[in-house]
Structure 1
Amino acid sequence: MLVSAIEHRPQSPGPALAVTESVRELFLEDLGELPHEKRAEALARRFLLSYAGHTRAAYGRDLADWFGWCAALEIDPLAANRAMVDGYARHLETRRSPATIARRLSAIAGFYRYGVAEGVLSTSPAEHVKRPKTSNDSQTLGMDRGEAKAFLAAARDHSSRAAALVTLLLHDGLRISEALGADVTDLSHSRGHRILTITRKGGARRDVVLNPATSQALDTYLDARADGPVFVTSTGNRWHRSEAFRLIRKLGAAAGIEHSDKLSPHSLRHTFVTLAREAGVPLEDVQDAAGHADPRTTRRYDRGRHNLDRHPAYALGAFLSD
């Protein structure tokens, strides 16, 4: 409910926008002037405007679950105390993974920090709540080099569209939203490189290099088409992520990937990071290519970072023996 309340707001409000009661609550009203029972949700809607895409959707679900917990206790979320937040965390421990609990507590803490910053609250009940420790290694299923090659072959056997998408995801490590959000007019050349301009999380536009294999796969699929989305359905509409998700699992099964039922488009992004590091690409270059703000995120994606073959002792021994 919190997410849908925002997703259906006008995206570009102009002078002619009617100031309805719901719009007034979202943008204009002093929260203190709203009925008591509306304040928490109005504050949550304002807080969620700070985020976009999947982060906003996830935080919206997290806050909705927290609000449901508060409702079961018959307590206004704006009257919650630390004991309630700690109790909620203990409640989740038997139902959710540490990573999910950590994200939910992060959403709750962010919501209350926002409330303090806006002067709605004097203190945050989540300020000192401890979050569970999470693994330094991502739990998303990735592929090794042999599996990635088999996966590419399965994509080529399936269709030119599948081959183009998988080659792009594996070779450039794009998020599925970045790949499916691209248009044909985003393809161009720059200083001798074939590039695709994509929209990163947060709306930033970035150029990614298409190597010869990716460029050829895209050209074969597009077949000289000059406009519209890069990846389209049979009716010409933009390909939806849910359809791509199903394709990835189908290709995984065809390629004989173990636990292919756990594959997702994000698995190819993890595979990109792991194989790029195994190929000797410096961490900072992989980080930049993946669009990660923090190198620790890139390291979590690198499933081969504990590979003893990559231990610096070997390189140092060779260096010192010269």
Structure 2
Amino acid sequence: MTNLDIPATPGAAVARTEASPVGRVLAEQAVRTAAAWLAEFRKSPSTPAAYARDLGLAAVVEHHQLQDLVEAFPLPSVRTLFTRSRARGVAPELCWFPMLLDLGLHPVLDATPAHVKGWVALMDEHRDATGQPVLSPAARARRVAALSSLLRWAVTEELITANPVDRLDRDRAGLVVDRHHSPTRGLSGAQLDLLVWTADRYPGPQRARTAALVALLATTAIRVSELCGLATGDYFADTGRHVIEVTRKGGKRQRIPVPPAAAARLDAYLATRPDYGAVAVPGQHGAGRVPLLATTAWRPGAGRRGGGQPLSPGEVWATLRRVARTHPDLAHLADQLHPHQLRHSVATRLLEAGAPQQHVQDLLGHVDPAMTQRYNRARDQLHNSPTPLAGQLLERGLAALDQDQEHHPAG
């Protein structure tokens, strides 16, 4: 329950209790409304999942036991999110849908500027045990942007007459993020090399998958959602080089060269997979896609998730941190390590090595050149992609590490 002190909208002030049938009906109506909105993003599967996470829809589904309703959602990415128990970092008490439903309000039909302003203040004031904000300014801005998208759609559908978020002064609320500065702390080139080197030696039966996963992130700079969304048919040869075809923001498809350093590790991993065919056919984007990086049936903690499922972003995060903890020179970074750091680090490394900014911008997929110092622009650039340079730099670093290990063996 939230302590937010804002008035309920007339006609919708039905207090919800844990066992309230009225509350469950209201929650079901709200989830159905959200489902209709999320269905608009069929061409960009990562977008609706991110919006659903940021608005707290998974927490609503779990609390009101609406899992049967989720099965009707048209987007697999959203269904997958809802079937997980409260995705990492959601903080449901600070999410729009749980908050409004706790007030007995429909999160779309009953939303007012006062509710939006109160919610933003609540997110800003909520602190952890150390006194630090639970949500960063970027996280708060992202949640407000998701709500604005939802309510803008509701205006278009004539469900409401105006978007309450339009009345919010985002600058005064501290929601304007500096596009020219990234708070992400990148790894040095040497640390990036060492992370891949350590992944190659990671103990356990999933060493090949771990090495492939880390090498892909350390050379192609793809987002974790793009990595998890790759199928075996998205990895193939084009103009004599290995490529992956990722789905970028907005649903655009982009082919990215996979440098030999990463391709060799990925091929070694796929050779262990009985479900990987000898011929990978590009463009297989429908149901029945075989994930490029897959779970295993025996994996501890898998619960009801069987083998052969796509890795989740949380599993990628956990893998990176487990790898880092196994090397004394990376262990101090492990608790804060995340996939976006690798994306940031690859971009910085390429720019420092002299790769043209335009080429790095193409690789990252950013439309706005100002964002390239942070990362992204969706264009189909194969020949000018700087990923081969990233692979060469990685191979040099790994060779140096191997040579150093021969002259100064551990122990």
Same-fold status (TM-score > 0.5): yes
Residues 218 and 94 of structure 1, relative CA distance in 2, 3 Å threshold: same
Matches within 5 A, 1:50-199: 50-51=40-41, 53-64=45-56, 65-77=95-107, 78-95=109-126, 96-131=135-170, 132-136=175-179, 137-158=181-202, 159-199=207-247
SS of corresponding position for 2:182: coil
User: Does structure 1 conserve the Cα–Cα contact (< 8 Å) formed by 2:55 and 2:147?
Assistant: yes
Residues 91 and 239 of structure 1, relative CA distance in 2, 3 Å threshold: closer
Residue 279 of structure 1 aligns to which amino acid in structure 2?
A
Distance, in Å, in 1 between the alignment partners of 2:194 and 2:161 is 57
User: Does structure 1 conserve the Cα–Cα contact (< 8 Å) formed by 2:324 and 2:334?
Assistant: yes
Residue 270 of structure 1 aligns to which amino acid in structure 2?
H
Matches within 5 A, 1:32-47: 41-47=31-37
Distance, in Å, in 1 between the alignment partners of 2:249 and 2:164 is 30
SS of corresponding position for 1:122: coil
SS of corresponding position for 1:49: helix
Matched, 1:49 2:92: no
SS of corresponding position for 2:177: coil
Residues 295 and 234 of structure 1, relative CA distance in 2, 3 Å threshold: same
SS of corresponding position for 1:119: coil
Deviation at 1:292, TM superposition (A): 2.8
| Other-structure match for 1:240 | 311
SS of corresponding position for 1:259: helix
Deviation at 1:231, TM superposition (A): 2.7
Mean CA deviation greater in 233-242 or 91-100? 233-242
Residue 243 of structure 1 aligns to which amino acid in structure 2?
E
Mean CA deviation greater in 81-90 or 147-156? 81-90
User: Does structure 2 conserve the Cα–Cα contact (< 8 Å) formed by 1:138 and 1:301?
Assistant: no
Matched, 1:252 2:324: yes
| Other-structure match for 1:217 | 265
Distance, in Å, in 2 between the alignment partners of 1:180 and 1:68 is 28
Residue 259 of structure 2 aligns to which amino acid in structure 1?
N
Residues 268 and 82 of structure 1, relative CA distance in 2, 3 Å threshold: same
Residues 36 and 259 of structure 1, relative CA distance in 2, 3 Å threshold: closer
Per residue, is there more helix in 1 or in 2? 1
Residues 209 and 92 of structure 1, relative CA distance in 2, 3 Å threshold: same
Which of 282, 289, 292 in structure 1 is aligned with 2:356? 282
User: Does structure 2 conserve the Cα–Cα contact (< 8 Å) formed by 1:173 and 1:290?
Assistant: yes
Deviation at 1:37, TM superposition (A): 8.7
Mean CA deviation greater in 144-153 or 44-53? 44-53
SS of corresponding position for 2:165: coil
Distance, in Å, in 2 between the alignment partners of 1:224 and 1:76 is 50
Distance, in Å, in 1 between the alignment partners of 2:357 and 2:221 is 14
* Matched residues, number: 268
Distance, in Å, in 1 between the alignment partners of 2:26 and 2:320 is 47
User: Residues 88-116 of structure 1, C-alpha deviation per residue, up to 9 Å, x if partnerless?
Assistant: 21122112322222122212222221121
Distance, in Å, in 2 between the alignment partners of 1:293 and 1:240 is 28
TM-score scaled by structure 1? 0.71
| Other-structure match for 2:73 | none
Residue 148 of structure 2 aligns to which amino acid in structure 1?
A
Distance, in Å, in 2 between the alignment partners of 1:199 and 1:184 is 14
Unaligned runs of 5+ in 2: 1-24, 57-94, 127-134, 278-289, 298-306, 377-411
TM-score scaled by structure 2? 0.57
Residue 98 of structure 2 aligns to which amino acid in structure 1?
G
Residues 279 and 67 of structure 1, relative CA distance in 2, 3 Å threshold: same
Distance, in Å, in 1 between the alignment partners of 2:102 and 2:232 is 50
CA RMSD, 1 decimal:
3.0
Distance, in Å, in 2 between the alignment partners of 1:196 and 1:111 is 32
Distance, in Å, in 2 between the alignment partners of 1:172 and 1:127 is 37
User: Residues 197-229 of structure 1, C-alpha deviation per residue, up to 9 Å, x if partnerless?
Assistant: 333344433221122222222233333865254
SS of corresponding position for 2:236: strand
Mean CA deviation greater in 262-271 or 57-66? 57-66
User: Does structure 2 conserve the Cα–Cα contact (< 8 Å) formed by 1:187 and 1:197?
Assistant: yes
Unaligned runs of 5+ in 1: 1-34, 303-322
Residue 126 of structure 1 aligns to which amino acid in structure 2?
V
SS of corresponding position for 1:289: helix
Matched, 1:293 2:367: yes
User: Does structure 2 conserve the Cα–Cα contact (< 8 Å) formed by 1:171 and 1:272?
Assistant: yes
Distance, in Å, in 1 between the alignment partners of 2:250 and 2:193 is 32
Residues 124 and 281 of structure 1, relative CA distance in 2, 3 Å threshold: same
User: Does structure 2 conserve the Cα–Cα contact (< 8 Å) formed by 1:142 and 1:263?
Assistant: no
